[in-house]
């Protein structure tokens, strides 16, 4: 049995480096997260070496058993990785050497850490995309559930944060369903761009050994191998795509957070955030703060910066591998962890909180949200051009505001002052609830259209 903690990369080229160099060079504190992927890649590579008879059957079994022991020790938290061995690849090889001896020295035949880390990282990104898609779908199910519970509730739709037109709360919530639906497509694109196996590229020029790439792809679950070895070891586009995809999810989570924060304020009173996800003030006993949503908003803002940061790292690098690439993993790991937490928290906030739709109707009435419907009344029933009807209704709104009245508090006599053709039918157009049912287009807030949208959303999630 070999000595423990053997330094795999101790060479005649550079027997010793400074402590500062070791500190900046080591990556095991970050890339230890690729443990499972590196074990899987090493097992697959061992099979390919065995097929070439570089490893005997007995040596293959010995390596596989040794790797299984390492996995078991890791699960039992009995492994302490060595910074001296720099990264997860060298640490696993060193651990294997300490368990099975010199046979472990054969495992790196025909490969490089360059294609090894590229493969490990791709496997991690593929698994992470799958996890995120499952999480997003759970959140989307909660959105559908809340939408079904709020199909008849009216809230103001906003433009420029000003009350614009009435919409159903269900319609508003389903807008977020569409955003996260696009995010799922983005993650599927990331999977497609990541699903290429770099193994066989070795350091950059390709391996001197005729490794069975079909075998490697089958063992690791890749659909195909990389076409060009230089591109294979230098390509980190998939990491950029991954971070950009996370940025889009973050964008939508941040948008939802900001909206719910506004809605939960005393000024809006449209959203009652669960006590489990809000906190009190240290000095003001009456306050309850939407801290969970504010934290989501803050974290998602940081996540969105990471794709730009990685682009800066990769920018202007010649082919092929550079240590600059060592920075990519911290970015993707941290972003993934933060986003995963944010999605979980948002899912629970939506699940446990409630909406105050009664106040939504009042806000619409107080702020003339059916004014556009009144303009359409003059177009449809009085054959007045829209531009002229717009001016008439604007005058009525100004009059109501000056007299501190809502539109439904105006008498027919008052309304006729602005146009003598106005009749009692105008009150049907003033009614806020009629506004949503009057919409005709398939993507509109008409409750019938929203019900159809919810059904289609449920079918989508069952695919």
| pLDDT tens digit sequence for 305-327 | 999 999 999 999 999 999 999 99
| Spatial CA neighbour of 221 closest among 333, 130, 336, 107 | 130
pLDDT for res 214: 98
| Judgement on whether residues 323 and 397 belong to the same structural domain of the protein | no
| Contact status, residue 109 vs residue 313, Cβ threshold 8 Å | no
Q: What value does the mean pLDDT of the chain take? A: 95
> Range of 86's domain?
19-109
Asked if the structure places residue 3 within a domain, the reply is no
What CATH number is given to the structural domain containing 80? 1.10.275.10
pLDDT for res 6: 58
What CATH number is given to the structural domain containing 318? 1.20.200.10
pLDDT for res 2: 40
Report how many domains make up the chain. 3
pLDDT for res 294: 97
Asked if the structure places residue 185 within a domain, the reply is yes
User: Quick one: average pLDDT of 367-375?
Assistant: 97
R_g over Cα of the chain: 31
End-of-domain residue from the set 357, 390, 407: 357
Asked if the structure places residue 248 within a domain, the reply is yes
Check 160, 282, 411, 420 and give the catalytic one.
160
pLDDT for res 463: 84
What CATH number is given to the structural domain containing 427? 1.10.40.30
Residue 57 has pLDDT above 70, yes or no: yes
pLDDT for res 363: 95
Q: How far is CA 403 from CA 130, 244, 406, 412, in A?
A: 58, 52, 9, 15
The predicted-structure confidence for 168-214, as pLDDT tens digits, reads as follows 999 999 999 999 999 999 999 999 999 999 999 999 999 999 999 99
User: Quick one: average pLDDT of 368-378?
Assistant: 97
| Judgement on whether residues 81 and 203 belong to the same structural domain of the protein | no
% of the chain residues with pLDDT over 70: 97
Confidence of residue 159 (pLDDT cuts 50, 70, 90): very high
Asked if the structure places residue 377 within a domain, the reply is yes
Confidence of residue 5 (pLDDT cuts 50, 70, 90): low
424 is catalytic: no
| Judgement on whether residues 344 and 238 belong to the same structural domain of the protein | yes
The predicted-structure confidence for 33-55, as pLDDT tens digits, reads as follows 999 999 999 999 999 999 999 99
Confidence of residue 285 (pLDDT cuts 50, 70, 90): confident
Confidence of residue 284 (pLDDT cuts 50, 70, 90): confident
Q: Which range among 202-216, 234-248, 274-288 shows the weakest confidence by mean pLDDT? A: 274-288
| Judgement on whether residues 339 and 391 belong to the same structural domain of the protein | no
| Judgement on whether residues 199 and 101 belong to the same structural domain of the protein | no
Asked if the structure places residue 343 within a domain, the reply is yes
Confidence of residue 11 (pLDDT cuts 50, 70, 90): very low
Asked if the structure places residue 2 within a domain, the reply is no
End-of-domain residue from the set 357, 382, 402: 357
| Judgement on whether residues 342 and 378 belong to the same structural domain of the protein | no
CA 425 to chain centre: 49
| Judgement on whether residues 328 and 366 belong to the same structural domain of the protein | no
| Judgement on whether residues 192 and 239 belong to the same structural domain of the protein | yes
* pTM of model > 0.85: yes
274 is catalytic: no
**Helix-strand-coil split of the chain, %, nearest 5:** 65, 5, 30
User: Quick one: average pLDDT of 112-126?
Assistant: 98
Confidence of residue 3 (pLDDT cuts 50, 70, 90): very low
Local structure of 433: helix, strand or coil: helix
| Spatial CA neighbour of 340 closest among 87, 130, 29 | 130
pLDDT for res 56: 98
Residue 275 has pLDDT above 60, yes or no: yes
d(CA 226, CA 200): 9
Asked if the structure places residue 294 within a domain, the reply is yes
pLDDT for res 8: 60
| Judgement on whether residues 277 and 387 belong to the same structural domain of the protein | no
| Judgement on whether residues 142 and 251 belong to the same structural domain of the protein | yes
End-of-domain residue from the set 357, 378, 396: 357
| Contact status, residue 429 vs residue 376, Cβ threshold 8 Å | yes
The predicted-structure confidence for 407-452, as pLDDT tens digits, reads as follows 999 999 999 999 999 999 999 999 999 999 999 999 999 999 999 9
User: Quick one: average pLDDT of 25-31?
Assistant: 93
| Judgement on whether residues 369 and 384 belong to the same structural domain of the protein | yes
Q: Which range among 23-27, 35-39, 105-109 shows the weakest confidence by mean pLDDT? A: 23-27
| Judgement on whether residues 350 and 449 belong to the same structural domain of the protein | no
3-state per-residue secondary structure call for 76-111: CCCCCCCHHHCCHHHHHHHHHHHHHHHHHHHCCCCC
Check 152, 223, 265, 281 and give the catalytic one.
281
User: Quick one: average pLDDT of 326-345?
Assistant: 97
Asked if the structure places residue 309 within a domain, the reply is yes
């Amino acid at each position: 049995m070999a000595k423990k903690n053997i330094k795999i990369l101790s060479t005649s080229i550079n027997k010793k480096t400074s402590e500062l160099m070791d500190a900046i060079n080591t990556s095991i504190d970050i890339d230890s997260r690729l443990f499972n992927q590196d074990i899987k890649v090493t097992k697959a590579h061992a099979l390919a070496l065995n097929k070439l008879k570089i490893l005997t059957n007995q040596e293959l079994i010995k390596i596989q058993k040794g790797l299984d022991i390492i996995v078991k020790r890791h699960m039992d938290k009995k492994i302490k990785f060595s910074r001296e061995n720099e990264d997860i690849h060298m640490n696993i090889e060193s651990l294997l050497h300490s368990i099975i001896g010199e046979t472990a020295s054969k495992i790196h035949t025909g490969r490089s850490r360059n294609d090894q880390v590229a493969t490990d990282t791709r496997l991690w990104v593929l698994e992470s995309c799958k996890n995120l898609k499952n999480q997003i779908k759970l959140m989307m199910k909660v959105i559908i559930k809340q939408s079904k519970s709020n199909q008849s509730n009216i809230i103001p739709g906003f433009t420029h944060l000003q009350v614009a037109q009435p919409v159903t709360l269900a319609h508003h919530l389903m807008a977020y369903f569409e955003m996260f639906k696009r995010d799922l497509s983005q993650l599927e694109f990331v999977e497609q761009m990541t699903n290429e196996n770099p193994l066989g590229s070795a350091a950059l020029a390709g391996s001197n050994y005729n490794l069975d790439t079909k075998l490697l792809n089958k063992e690791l679950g890749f659909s195909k191998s990389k076409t060009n070895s230089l591109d294979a070891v230098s390509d980190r586009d998939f990491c950029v795509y991954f971070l950009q995809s996370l940025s889009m999810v973050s964008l939508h989570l941040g948008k939802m957070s900001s909206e719910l924060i506004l809605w939960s304020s005393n000024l809006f009173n449209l959203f009652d955030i669960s006590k489990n996800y809000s906190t009190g003030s240290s000095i003001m006993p009456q306050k309850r703060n939407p801290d969970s949503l504010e934290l989501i908003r803050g974290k998602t803002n940081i996540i969105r910066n990471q794709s730009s940061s990685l682009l800066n790292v990769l920018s202007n690098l010649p082919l092929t591998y550079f240590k600059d690439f060592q920075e990519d993993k911290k970015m993707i790991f941290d972003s993934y962890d933060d986003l995963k937490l944010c999605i979980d928290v948002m899912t629970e906030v939506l699940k446990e909180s409630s909406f105050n739709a009664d106040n939504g109707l009042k806000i619409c009435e107080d702020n003339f949200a059916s004014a556009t419907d009144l303009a359409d009344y003059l177009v449809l029933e009085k054959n007045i051009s829209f531009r002229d009807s717009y001016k008439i209704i604007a005058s009525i709104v100004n009059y109501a505001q000056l007299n501190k009245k809502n539109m439904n508090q105006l008498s027919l006599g008052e309304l006729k002052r602005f146009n003598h053709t106005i009749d009692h039918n105008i009150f049907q157009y003033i009614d806020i609830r009629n506004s949503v049912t009057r919409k005709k287009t398939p993507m509109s807030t008409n409750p019938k259209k929203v019900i159809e949208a919810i059904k289609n959303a449920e079918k989508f999630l069952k695919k």
